[in-house]
Amino acid sequence: MIPLAMWEAPERSMTLPSPRGSWQWLTTTNLDLVTPRRQQILDIAAELFAARGFHGVSVAELGSACGISGPALYKHFQSKDAMLAEMLVSISETLLAEGRSRVESAEGPRAALEALVEWHIEFALAHRALIVVQDRDWSSLPDEAREKVRALQRSYVDVWATQVRLLDPGLSPETSRTRAHVLFGLLNSTPHSGRLPDPQMHDVLREMAHGALGLA
């Protein structure tokens, strides 16, 4: 959905909570196992995968971009597949956890939706590369990781859809989910729509999202 030729690597302005510490993220939850170096490798990998595709980047090229040999990457990740899996599972976990947190801190569905919009815009502007990788390299995920990401993203959609329906009780659950998906399409357009400086783009996305949700 996101044309490769239109993607440009942005300046990073937000650090996401650290992803899982090893390939066993599917069964463990100890985020303290992650080192800054490991996160740096994931960040660099995301930029390379976004620019050239998961299959267009070799382990040797990843190592070179990280300032180490290709084989040295295996001290941090069991495989390139494991790297992609951790990258996409961890961001899905982060989106869900932070989304739930912002809803819990909000007073009512209108404030909750405003908080969700702000959170997703922050993510979408700061991590364009992850959006590209998620969109294009989904099919390259190992089966177990793909199911994990799918389950997490369904839960994230439900966080939004619940607040949409609370704001407008006349909507069906399916219509509420559809509206959430439409919003994600808008907010996740940043890899190819972000022609304005990020602060201005933030305002444009907020205004459009609020209009679509009936918050304006």
Q: Using CA atoms in the order 82, 87, 93, 96, what is the torsion angle rounded to 10 degrees?
A: -150
pLDDT at 38: 85
82 and 23 Cβ atoms separated by less than 8 Å: yes
pLDDT at 194: 66
Question: Could you tell me what percent of the chain has a pLDDT over 70?
Answer: 83
The Cα 46–Cα 91 span in angstroms is 11
pLDDT at 73: 85
Given a cut of 50, is residue 24 above it in pLDDT? no
Rg (C-alpha) for the chain, rounded Å, is: 18
Distances (CA, A) of 138 to 40, 73, 78, 85, 104: 21, 22, 19, 9, 30
Q: How confident is the model at residue 28 (pLDDT cuts 50, 70, 90)?
A: very low
The answer to which of 62-66, 148-152, 171-175, 200-204 has the lowest mean pLDDT is 62-66
Matching residue, tokens 């369904």:
154
Residue 198, both tokens? 């990020």
Tell me: the pLDDT tens digits for 116-126? 999 999 999 99
Given a cut of 80, is residue 19 above it in pLDDT? no
The Cα 23–Cα 199 span in angstroms is 36
Assessment of whether the complete model's pTM goes beyond 0.95? no
Residue 124, both tokens? 């979408």
pLDDT at 22: 33
Average confidence score pLDDT of the chain: 84
Given a cut of 80, is residue 178 above it in pLDDT? yes
Given a cut of 60, is residue 148 above it in pLDDT? yes
List CB contacts of 149: < 8 A, sequence separation 6 or more.
Answer: 88, 89, 92, 138, 141
The Cα 21–Cα 56 span in angstroms is 25
Regarding predicted confidence, which is higher, 1 or 141?
Answer: 141
Tell me: the pLDDT tens digits for 78-93? 999 999 999 999 999 9
pLDDT at 45: 94
What residues does each domain of the chain span?
11-213
Sign of torsion over alpha carbons 186, 124, 214, 97: positive
For the segment 143-170, the average pLDDT, to the nearest whole number, is: 96
206 and 118 Cβ atoms separated by less than 8 Å: yes
For the segment 174-187, the average pLDDT, to the nearest whole number, is: 95
pLDDT at 71: 81
DSSP designation for 9: P
Q: What's the topology of domain 11-213?
A: Tetracycline Repressor; domain 2 (1.10.357)
For the segment 65-74, the average pLDDT, to the nearest whole number, is: 85
Given a cut of 80, is residue 161 above it in pLDDT? yes
